[in-house]
Structure 1
Amino acid sequence: MNQHAPNMRPVIRQLDEATANRIAAGEVVERPASAVKELVENALDAGASRIEIAIEDGGKRLIRVSDDGCGMTPDDLPLALSRHATSKIDGSDLLAINSFGFRGEALPSLGAVGRLRITSRADGAEGAEITVTAGKIGPTRPAAANRGTVVELRDLFFATPARLKFMRSDRAETQAVADTVRKLAMAEPWVGFALTADGREIFRADAEQGELFGALQARLARVMGRDFIDNTIAMDAERDGLTLTGFAALPTYSRGAAVAQHLYVNGRPVRDKLLTGALRAGYMDVLASGRHPAAVLFLTCDPQLVDVNVHPAKAEVRFRDPSAARGLLVSALRHGLANAGHRASSTVGNATLAAFQPETPAAMAPRNYQMDYARPSAGAIRSSIAAQSPDTAPLPSFDAGFAETPSARFEEITPGPTDAPLGAARAQLHENYIVAQTQDGMVLIDQHAAHERLVYERLKTQAADKGIARQALLIPEIVELSEADAARILSIADELADLGLVIEPFGAGAIAVQEAPAMLDRLNAAALIRDILDDLADQGSSDRLRARIDAVLSSMACHGSVRSGRRMSAEEMNALLREMERTPRSGQCNHGRPTWVKLKLSDIERLFGRKD
C-alpha cells in the first residue's frame, strides 16, 4: 500500500497568489546572501558604476542596496513587483540571455517574505517609491531621489517565520553576504562596491581603471590578496567558440579546501560539476593529496551555447557541448602550468624566512647589534689578547677555510651563471640540499624532489610519443554491467585504448577487457571500469585511468632519480639546475611539494639586522 495515498480522494485547490509567491520565494531566496545576490545583479544589469550594500543583523533585519544605474520611472515600479515581469528579455528566445536576471522573480519573491521598499528615479523622470509587505503592494508615491535605485528589504522572512529557524548566526550570515559580494565584485572590476554591516564597513573595492587583465588583476589583488596574484598564471585561451580568461594559481600555492575556486560563465558565478572536475583534472599530477587549486576563471561564449535557465537561483548551467568546455579548461590549465616552468610560489620562501625568525625576546628592550658598535681590527684583538696572556697559543688565521663534514660540503666552484633563474650551485648540505647563488639572493633545492620531477616529465613524454605499452590478457575479463552503463563505457572505448585499456562489447549489458596497460600489474579491471563509470555519471568524463598510469610513472621516476644522501659534483648540481629551468612543472615534485625555495638577499640581510 502506498503510505502517501490518503484514505479519501484529495480535492485539488487553486492556491492564492500570496501563498504561491511565498512558495516560489523559497526557490529564489534561501538566505540573506541570496537576496543580496539578486539585488546586486539587478543593479549590475541597470548599468551601475557604484553599488553600496548595507545590512543589519546578518541581513535578517535590513538589506539595503543602492546603485547609480538607469533607474525606473513611476510607471515601472508596479510592474517590477509583478511576477514574471522583466525588462531583460522579450520571451522570444530563452537562450539569448545577456543579463544576470531574466526570470522576473527576485523582487516579487522578496516582497512576498519581507517588507520591501523601492525608491528610484530615471533620467528625465520624477523620483518615486513603492512598498510591498508580505505580498501586498502599496500605491506609488512621489519621492526625492537621485538617479538610480535604492531597494530596502526589512524583516526578511517575517511572513514565513518557520524559515527563520533555519537561519544561522548573525556572524555566519554576514560572512555569507560578504562572500557573495566579493564573488560578484571579482567579475566586475570596473564597478565600485562597498559593503557595510551594522554600521561598519567590512568590504570596499573602488572601480579599477585600464584594460581587462590590468583591471582584473588589480581587483583580484584587492579581493583575493596580493599573494594570490603574485603566485598565479594568467590564462587566455580560445577553442570552439569558447574563451577562457582569468588567473590560476601555481600548484605550490594550494589550499586545504576548495574555498579559493571561483568559476564564471559569461560573467555569472556558477557551481558546476563539469567545470570543477575539469579544474581538478588540470592540476591532476601536480598537487599533493588533500590539496586544492586556487583559481579565478571566466568562461565566455555565445549565449546560445549555454543554458542558464536550469534553476531559479541561476547558479547552475548546461553547455551545449560539455566536452568542448571541459577540454578547453583542462588543456589551458596544463599548458599554462607547463609554461610556468620551474616557478614555485613566493609563499614557500616567506614560510622559510618565517622559520628563520629569531624568537621574540621576553623583554621588549631595543636590540643592539654588533655592527652598531665601533669594532677594533683583528690585529688590535690579537695584541690585546697577547698582552693579557703571554702564554696563549697563536689564534688560527680567519681565512683558514672550512673542514669538510658529513653534513655540509663546500668546494671551490667555478663562478656559474648567477644571472640564471636558479643561479649557480655553491654548496651541498646534508647530501640532499643544493645551495645556489642568484644575483639577488639564494636558492635552496631539494635534489631528490627536483630530479624526481625531471625524470617523471621525461617518462610522460616518452609514453606520449611511443604510446602506452599494452598487454593482451590470456583470458579476457568479462565485466557485467547494466545496458546503459555498458553503452556509456563503450562510448569512450577509443580514449581508453589510447591509454592501453582495450574493451569490446560482450552481449547485452557486458563488456570484455581484452588488453590492459602493461605497467599496471595485478589490475582489477572490473573495479577500474566501475570507478570510471562513476566519474562519467558524476562529471561527464574520467581521468581515473590516466591517473593510475601517471602514478606508476611517478613511482618509476622516484626510484630512478637522484637519491637523498648522494654527493654531487659542482657540474652535476649546475646541470640539474639548468634542466629544472627547461622542464615544465619543475617547481613542485610529483607529490605537489615544492622542489626549491628562494630567499632574497634583502630579506636575509634583514634577518641579521643589516636592514630595517
Structure 2
Amino acid sequence: MNAIRPLPEILINQIAAGEVVERPASVVKELVENALDAGATRVDIDLEEGGVRLIRIRDNGGGIAPEQLALAVSRHATSKIASLDDLESVATLGFRGEALPSIASVSRFTLASRRADDEHGAALQIEGGKLGEVAPRAHAPGTTVEVRELFYNVPARRKFLRAERTELGHIEEWLRSLALARPDVELRVSHNGKPSRRYKPGDLYSDTRLGETLGEDFARQALRVDHSAAGLRLHGWIAQPQYSRASSDQQYLYVNGRSVRDRSVSHAVKMAYGDVLYHGRQPAYVLFLELDPTRVDVNVHPAKHEVRFRDSRLIHDFVYRTLKDALAETRAGLDPSTMGQQQHPADATPQSSLSASYGGGYVLGRAPGSAGGGNGDWQARQSPLGLQVAEAPSAYAALYSSPAAGTVQSLAEGGPALPPTSGDSGVPPLGYAVAQLHGIYILAENAEGLIVVDMHAAHERIGYERLKNAHDGIGLHAQPLLVPMTLAVGERDADTAEREAETLAALGFEITRSGPGSLHVRSIPALLANAEPEGLLRDVLTDLREHGQSRRIATARDELLSTMACHGAVRANRRLTIPEMNALLRDMETTERSGQCNHGRPTWARFSLAEIDRWFLRGR
C-alpha cells in the first residue's frame, strides 16, 4: 500500500478545475462574475474558436493592486468573505477564491489590472499553474484576464470539448441569462475577431433587454409579475400559456441575482401552469426571487448552479400561489401588450401588480406603442374608406347588451338569465357577436377589429371553473372504507405518512402507521372513490417528501371535473342566437383562465383592423 502524502499544489488546482471548469462557458461565467463583483458596468468578451483557443475578459471595475495579483491566483484567497457570518449571508456572485487558480492551472493565463488611482497597471503570467513575475504594464482602469489554450496540459479533458459552434452556443446562452439579470451592464462579445453581439445598458422593465434576449414574441406574450409577502419577493415575467415551448430552454430563475436551478421552484411553476398548458408543453419565464441572504445557502454546488432554501416549503407555496393567481387573470379579451404597464418594482406595494391592474374593470387591447387605453379609448383606423367604423360596436351594444330579463340563459348553467353588460359606456374586450361560423366559431367585433371564439372550448372552461369553485366551497370529503386497506411502502414513505398525518387527513386520507414499512388506510377522498387510491396515495407521499406538499388530489379531482365540464359544454354545430353568443362572450371576460380550454388549447384569437388591412394590401 502506498504511503499517504500531500498532493502538489498544481495537481490540487487541476482537481478543483475539474469541478469548476467544465468547458469554456464555465470560464466565461467565473471571470465575468468576478468583473461584476468588482463593480464593472461594461464587460468586453473576446473569443476564438468557441473559447478554446482564447477567452479574454476586459472590464472597467475597481481593479487589483499590483502586490495582490499573485494572491488573487492562489487558492481560497478572496476579498468577498472573511468569516462564517459572511459566508452565510454572502451577496456576491463569487466567494470561494477557487476560480482563478483552477483556470490558471489548465491554461496559459495572464492577469493584468490597474486601479483608477494608480499611475500604471501590472500583469502576471501563469503557464499551467506555474507563476511568473509581476511586471508593469500599460492598462486602462479595470482588469483583463486572458485564458489561452484551455486544457492544453490536460489532453483527456480537451478531448471532451465539443465543436466550436457548440461551445460558442453554451457561452451565448449563459450571456443571455446574465443579460436578463443585469440590464445595467453593457456586454460586448466578439468571436474570431468579429463583433457578434452587444447588449446595451438599460432598464430591464423597458422590455428592450427582454426582447433582444428572448425575442419579440416572448416580450409580446409575457405577463409582468411582482408580488411580495412573508419577507419574499417574486418579480419578472411569465409567458402566457399559448406561448409554450417544446423544451425548457426559456426558463430562467434568479435567486438574489444569481442564476440557479432549483427543483422545488421548478415544480411550483409547473404546478401553477398545470391547468392551462397543453399536454407535454413547457412554460417560459424569467423570474427573480429575492429574500434575506441568510435564508438561502449558496454554498452547496462547486459551480454555484444550485442553492438550498432554509424554508423550501414556504418558498414553494409562495411561488406556486403567486403564479397561479397571476395566470388566473389571463381572461379572454385581455391584451398582453397592456399587461406590462404596471408600477416599477421600486414602487411596488406588497401585492401582485398583475392582479392590481385588473381591479378597475376591462382594459381594451391595443397595438404596442399606440396611445390611449381603457374603456372606450380607441380610434377607428379604416380612414381610407371614409366609413364611420366606430359607430358599429355602439350599434351592437344598443341591440344586444340589454335584452329583456329572462331571454338570455347562461350557457354554462342553463338556468335563470343574467343580461350581459359591458360595464361602462365603452366596448367590452370581446366586443359583440355578429355571426356563427360553421357551427363552431363565434365571430365578434370589438374596438380593435375581429374576435374569433371556439365556442365549445370557451364554454368548457367556463363550466370547469364554476365546477371547481363550487367544489372548493364544499371541500374534500373522506369516504370510509368498508374494509381498511393495508399498504406496503418504503420506510421513508411510512415516515412521511406519519409526519404528515394532518395534511393527508385534509386531503381525505385517514392513515395510521402499522409497521416500519406499512400503512393502514381507513378512508380515501370521496370524489375519487372510483380512482386507484393506492397509486394515488403513493404519488402523494412522494410529493410530500420531495416538495413539502402535493397537488395530486386536486389534480385528480380537476381531471374529473374537467371531464364533467367537457360533457356539459355546448357542442359543435349547435346554432346559437346572437344573445346566447354575447352571453358566452361576457362569461369569458369574467372567468379565470378563459384564454385556454381545460386541455390548454386557446379559446379565442384577435385580429386587429390594421392586420386585416394588410391582408388586403389596404393603404399601400
Residues 253-332 of structure 1: pairs in structure 2 closer than 5 A: 253-332=243-322
The CA deviation at 1:342 is: 2.2
In the alignment, structure 1 residue 414 sits paired with structure 2 residue 408: no
Distance 1:180 1:195, change over 3 A: same
Contact 2:313 2:547 in 1 (8 A): no
Residues 235-250 of structure 1: pairs in structure 2 closer than 5 A: 235-250=225-240
In the other structure, the counterpart of 1:524 is 532
In the alignment, structure 1 residue 565 sits paired with structure 2 residue 556: no
Residues 456-535 of structure 1: pairs in structure 2 closer than 5 A: 456-535=464-543
What stretches of structure 2 of length at least 5 have no aligned partner?
Answer: 338-383, 385-395, 402-421
In the other structure, the counterpart of 2:117 is 124
Paired with 1:319 and 1:105, the residues of 2 have a C-alpha distance of 24
Distance 1:489 1:267, change over 3 A: same
In the alignment, structure 1 residue 29 sits paired with structure 2 residue 37: no
1:554 to 559, 562, 566: 562
Paired with 1:502 and 1:560, the residues of 2 have a C-alpha distance of 33
In the other structure, the counterpart of 1:407 is none
In the alignment, structure 1 residue 179 sits paired with structure 2 residue 173: yes
Residues 304-383 of structure 1: pairs in structure 2 closer than 5 A: 304-342=294-332
Paired with 1:254 and 1:343, the residues of 2 have a C-alpha distance of 19
In the other structure, the counterpart of 1:220 is 210
Contact 1:343 1:586 in 2 (8 A): no
Contact 1:344 1:597 in 2 (8 A): no
Residue type matched to 2:90 in 1?
I
In the other structure, the counterpart of 1:206 is 200
Paired with 1:296 and 1:267, the residues of 2 have a C-alpha distance of 12
Paired with 1:430 and 1:117, the residues of 2 have a C-alpha distance of 71
Paired with 1:530 and 1:579, the residues of 2 have a C-alpha distance of 39
TM-score, L = length of structure 2: 0.84
Q: Map Cα deviations across residues 66-94 of structure 1 (whole Å, 9 max, x no partner).
A: 11111111012111101100011112322
Contact 1:238 1:328 in 2 (8 A): no
In the other structure, the counterpart of 1:104 is 97
In the other structure, the counterpart of 2:373 is none
In the other structure, the counterpart of 1:451 is 459
In the other structure, the counterpart of 1:67 is 59
Q: Which of the pair has more CA radius of gyration? A: 1
The CA deviation at 1:43 is: 0.7
The CA deviation at 1:236 is: 1.1
Paired with 2:336 and 2:616, the residues of 1 have a C-alpha distance of 21
Distance 1:259 1:136, change over 3 A: same
Q: 3-state SS of the aligned residue for 1:506?
A: strand
The CA deviation at 1:340 is: 2.8
Distance 1:287 1:105, change over 3 A: same
Moved more, 25-34 or 227-236: 227-236
In the alignment, structure 1 residue 234 sits paired with structure 2 residue 224: yes
In the alignment, structure 1 residue 49 sits paired with structure 2 residue 41: yes
Paired with 2:278 and 2:480, the residues of 1 have a C-alpha distance of 33
Q: 3-state SS of the aligned residue for 1:228?
A: helix
Q: 3-state SS of the aligned residue for 2:399?
A: coil
Paired with 1:145 and 1:501, the residues of 2 have a C-alpha distance of 70
Contact 2:493 2:542 in 1 (8 A): no
Q: Map Cα deviations across residues 89-129 of structure 1 (whole Å, 9 max, x no partner).
A: 11232212010000001100110000111111112123111
Paired with 1:314 and 1:334, the residues of 2 have a C-alpha distance of 29
The CA deviation at 1:521 is: 4.2
Paired with 1:165 and 1:536, the residues of 2 have a C-alpha distance of 43
Paired with 2:474 and 2:536, the residues of 1 have a C-alpha distance of 24
Residue type matched to 2:102 in 1?
S
Residue type matched to 1:84 in 2?
H
Q: 3-state SS of the aligned residue for 1:75?
A: helix
Residues 377-392 of structure 1: pairs in structure 2 closer than 5 A: none
In the other structure, the counterpart of 1:114 is 107
In the other structure, the counterpart of 1:582 is 590
The CA deviation at 1:286 is: 0.8
Paired with 2:84 and 2:308, the residues of 1 have a C-alpha distance of 20
Contact 2:433 2:578 in 1 (8 A): yes
Paired with 1:121 and 1:289, the residues of 2 have a C-alpha distance of 55
Residues 128-167 of structure 1: pairs in structure 2 closer than 5 A: 128-167=122-161
The CA deviation at 1:45 is: 0.4
The CA deviation at 1:536 is: 4.1
Paired with 2:288 and 2:125, the residues of 1 have a C-alpha distance of 37
Distance 1:483 1:109, change over 3 A: same
Paired with 1:286 and 1:579, the residues of 2 have a C-alpha distance of 18
Paired with 2:216 and 2:156, the residues of 1 have a C-alpha distance of 43
Distance 1:481 1:44, change over 3 A: same
In the alignment, structure 1 residue 83 sits paired with structure 2 residue 68: no
Q: Map Cα deviations across residues 28-49 of structure 1 (whole Å, 9 max, x no partner).
A: 0000001100011011101111
Moved more, 91-100 or 101-110: 91-100
Paired with 1:170 and 1:263, the residues of 2 have a C-alpha distance of 27
In the other structure, the counterpart of 1:194 is 188
Q: 3-state SS of the aligned residue for 1:256?
A: coil
1:58 to 50, 56, 64: 50
Paired with 1:602 and 1:412, the residues of 2 have a C-alpha distance of 23
In the other structure, the counterpart of 1:16 is 8
Contact 1:252 1:344 in 2 (8 A): no
Paired with 1:524 and 1:15, the residues of 2 have a C-alpha distance of 58
Q: 3-state SS of the aligned residue for 2:236?
A: strand
Paired with 1:49 and 1:298, the residues of 2 have a C-alpha distance of 21
Q: Map Cα deviations across residues 550-569 of structure 1 (whole Å, 9 max, x no partner).
A: 11111111111111221111
TM-score, L = length of structure 1: 0.85
In the alignment, structure 1 residue 428 sits paired with structure 2 residue 436: yes
Distance 1:569 1:53, change over 3 A: same
Q: 3-state SS of the aligned residue for 2:105?
A: helix
Contact 2:316 2:547 in 1 (8 A): no
What stretches of structure 1 of length at least 5 have no aligned partner?
Answer: 1-8, 348-371, 373-410
Residue type matched to 2:94 in 1?
G
Paired with 2:158 and 2:333, the residues of 1 have a C-alpha distance of 49
Q: Map Cα deviations across residues 205-259 of structure 1 (whole Å, 9 max, x no partner).
A: 10004xxx625x3321221122212212111112221111111111111111111
Q: What is the total number of aligned residue pairs between the two structures?
A: 538
In the other structure, the counterpart of 2:612 is 604
The CA deviation at 1:51 is: 0.9
Superposition RMSD on alpha carbons, in Å?
2.0
Q: 3-state SS of the aligned residue for 2:144?
A: strand
Paired with 2:175 and 2:594, the residues of 1 have a C-alpha distance of 37
Identity of counterpart residues, as a percentage? Answer: 46
Paired with 2:240 and 2:511, the residues of 1 have a C-alpha distance of 37
Q: 3-state SS of the aligned residue for 2:88?
A: coil
The CA deviation at 1:333 is: 0.1
Distance 1:537 1:171, change over 3 A: farther
Residue type matched to 1:274 in 2?
S
Paired with 1:537 and 1:77, the residues of 2 have a C-alpha distance of 48
Residue type matched to 1:320 in 2?
R
The CA deviation at 1:540 is: 4.5
Distance 1:536 1:453, change over 3 A: same
Q: 3-state SS of the aligned residue for 1:414?
A: helix
The CA deviation at 1:413 is: 9.7
Contact 1:18 1:135 in 2 (8 A): yes
Distance 1:183 1:343, change over 3 A: farther
